Amino acid sequence: MPSLPAANPAIVARRAAIAADLRRLVPEALIITEASERMAYECDALTAHRSAPLLVVLPRTAREVAAILRYCHANAVPLVPRGAGTSLSGGATPMPDALLLGMARFNRIVEIDAENRCATVQPGVTNLSISQAVAHLGLFYAPDPSSQIACTIGGNVAENSGGVHCLKYGLTTNNVLGVELVTIEGEIIRLGGKHHDSPGYDLLGALVGSEGLLGVVTEVIVRLLPTPPLARALLIGFPLVDQAAATVAAIIAAGIIPAGMEMMDKPAIAAAEAFVRAGYPLDVEALLIVELDGCPAEVDHLIDLVAGLATAHGATTCRASASEAERALFWAGRKAAFPAVGRLAPDYLCMDGTIPRRHLPDMLARISAMESRFGLKVANVFHAGDGNLHPLIMFDANIPTEIDRAEAFGAEILRQCVAMGGALSGEHGIGLEKRDLMPHMFTDTDLDQQMRLKCAFDPQALLNPGKVFPTPCRCAELGRLHSHHGALPFPDLPRF
């Protein structure tokens, strides 16, 4: 199990003094010191890792955040930003020697600008509430993580979160136009805006998905899209996983990019059906949900095309939704897949690797072979359209060694993803959970280059330490340039 860096006892000993300093500096911010109240923040959704934070600070303005960060910078106090704490990778796991900077009070929608199709929101606003606030204008915010009722846009920015509709509409990074960011020095800067692109380097691009390691986001401008007039879903069952995978490939090859294309394997289908009674067929090995949206002429045309492809590839059930209620029902099972699996076992680990789509059947076969090797069961849900796997590894934390086996199982799946040309994380982030697997995907040089980027923002590594990188940032060492003292390394390199 990956562990956090050892707590610095000198900082822990200064808890009361730091709290007193902060009370003076930011009298309006809420500061929680009481041990029992700090426990409420002891973990995020990666519940295997728990430790109460040094202090919890809940500011409400960018100026307060700036004052807090300036203080941390001057006094070398680390801090962990936190939104709703739904991270599955331990991105918001607290540390006993770090402030937990809770952003929940940044909960206002600042402006809705229909003409420019964007909204300015504070980072603690929940994902779903943005779409709800603009629905009356016929607009919506596209990225829709399953946790959208709870998770915050600040957390989404930090994790570059996705959802079932990002196949067509992109991830968070493609739907954020700008942010206000507080740097560790306490400077308030703006990246991007309502305009397209920006002068200078694409720092917004680097910030999205940076897991709270580069700065604290205090405002976000999101892109809004017109709501499609119609969405219909197909529920398609196959006797063989290969047939489902081949159908996915055939849909893409036909030039169709559905709004969403999700796949579930037999255990996931059974769990979801038992939980929500969505009417899923139970006699199939794989289920696809394919959603098509747009104008009615387009949707009806594509529904027929996709249904034809599914039948040609051996589908044994293929139902098209005839109403919004039916479409919602098709999705209900998929959207509740995590809690449904949660009923089958006391605990589960949700993995998040990505592979090229064509390897889906091979990957499933390998996972089922691993099941017997590790002695644990898995239910699989996939964002099939973009090869993003979510194997849910079931275990019981009360049985000694089960958690270790589950983590080893997960690591093996992720290593296999990388071996197939994929990635360690598609949308949940590296955090603490996958940190030590980074060298499987990147060389030392690659990681050093990433760490130098971190050093450009936060040379003392105070922001969310112990996450993402398997070794601490050695900024002074990484910054040195080894010169060759004038000796020409390649005297015969052609020059014309």
Partner 1 sequence: MPVFHAATPQQVQQAVQTALAEKTPLDIIGGGSKRGLGRATAAGHGLDVSALAGIIEHDHDELTLTTRPGTSLGEIEAALASRRQMLAFEPPGWHGVFAAHGAPAATPTIGGSIAANLAGPRRIRAGGPRDHLLGVAAVNGRAEAWRGGGRVVKNVSGYDMPKLQCGAFGTLSVLTELTLRLVPAPATTSTLLIATETLAAACQMMARALNTPQDVSAAACLPAGIAARAGVPRAGQFIVLLRLEGTSPSVIDRAATLRRQFSAFAELDTPESKAVWHDIGAVSPLLANPDAMLWRLCPTPSLAPEILAALTDLSDQVFLDWGGGLIWLAVPAATPDAAAASIRAAIGPHGHATLVRAPAPLRARLPVFQPLAPPLAALNARIRAAFDPAHILNRGRLVPEP
Contact 35, 12 (CB under 8 A): no
Residue 173 identity (one-letter amino acid): T
Stretch that binds ligand FAD, among 23-31, 149-157, 190-198, 477-485 (CB under 6 A): 149-157
Distance CA(247)–CA(238), nearest Å, equals 10
Residue 371 binds which one of ligand FAD, partner 1, none, with CB within 5 to 8 A depending on kind? none
Task: Name the burial class of residue 119, with classes exposed (0-12), middle (13-18) and buried (19+) by CB atoms within 10 angstroms of its CB.
Answer: buried
Contact with ligand FAD (CB under 6 A): which of 2, 53, 59, 91?
A: 91
Q: Stretches 23-31, 85-93, 321-329, 469-477: which one binds ligand FAD (CB under 6 A)?
A: 85-93
Q: Cβ closer to ligand FAD: 154 or 237?
A: 154
- Give burial (CB, 10 Å; 0-12/13-18/19+) of 33: middle
Which among 332, 199, 186 has a CA at the least distance from the CA of 269? 332
Residue 18: CB minimum distance to partner 1, A: 26
Give the Cα separation of 79 and 105 in Å (integer): 17
Q: Choose among ligand FAD, partner 1, none what residue 152 binds, the Cβ cut-off being 5 to 8 Å by kind.
A: ligand FAD
Cα–Cα distance list, 177 to 119, 191, 428 (Å)? 10, 9, 21
Output 35 or 487, the one with its CB closest to partner 1.
487
Q: Are strands 260-265 and 188-192 parallel, antiparallel or unpaired?
A: unpaired
Q: Does 237 bind ligand FAD (CB under 6 A)?
A: no
Which of 162, 209, 260, 267 binds ligand FAD (CB under 6 A)? It is 162
Contact yes or no for 200/209 (Cβ under 8 A): no
The entry of partner 1, ligand FAD, none that residue 470 binds, CB within 5 to 8 Å by partner kind: none
Residue (58 or 315) nearer to ligand FAD, CB: 58
Residue type at 179 in one-letter notation: V
388 is an interface residue for ligand FAD by CB under 6 A = no
Question: Which of helix, strand or coil describes residue 212?
Answer: coil
Q: Which is nearer to partner 1, 24 or 484 (CB)?
A: 484
Which pair of structure tokens corresponds to residue 461? 């590594």
Out of 161, 175, 183, 243, the only residue in the binding site for ligand FAD (CB under 6 A) is 161
Residue by residue, DSSP assigns 288-342 as EEEEEEESHHHHHHHHHHHHHHHHHTT-SEEEE--SHHHHHHHHHHHHTHHHHHH
Q: How far apart are CA 422 and CA 444, in angstroms?
A: 19
> What's the residue count for the chain?
496
Choice between 30 and 257, CB closer to partner 1: 257
Among 53, 81, 178, 260, binds ligand FAD (CB under 6 A): 81
CA distance 116 to 178: 13
Beta strands in 351-488 (DSSP E): 378-383, 388-395
Site for ligand FAD in 38-67 (CB under 6 A): 44-45
385 binds ligand FAD (CB under 6 A): no
Q: How near is the Cβ of 270 to ligand FAD at its closest, in Å?
A: 19
CB under 5 to 8 A by kind: which of partner 1, ligand FAD, none does 203 bind? partner 1
Is residue 183 a contact residue for ligand FAD (CB under 6 A)? Answer: no
Residues 58, 61, 62, 64: is their CA dihedral positive or negative?
negative
Residue 191 binds ligand FAD (CB under 6 A)? no
**Secondary structure (3-state) at 45:** coil
Nearest alpha-carbon partner for 458 in 97, 123, 76, 82: 76
Closest distance to partner 1 from the beta carbon of 204 (Å): 8
Cβ at position 106, least distance to ligand FAD in Å: 7
Nearer to partner 1, 22 or 45 (CB): 45
Q: Which residues within the stretch 118-147 sit at the binding site for ligand FAD (CB under 6 A)?
A: 123, 145-147
- Give the count of residues interacting with ligand FAD (CB under 6 A): 36
Q: Any contact of residue 97 with ligand FAD (CB under 6 A)?
A: no
Given partner 1, ligand FAD, none, residue 338, with its beta carbon under 5 to 8 Å by kind, binds ligand FAD
User: Which partner from the list ligand FAD, partner 1, none does 307 bind, CB cut-off 5 to 8 Å by kind?
Assistant: none
Structure tokens at 447: 């990681």
- Would you tell me which residues interact with ligand FAD (CB under 6 A)? 44-45, 80-88, 91-92, 103, 123, 145-147, 151-152, 154-156, 158-159, 161-163, 211-212, 216-217, 338, 427-428, 464
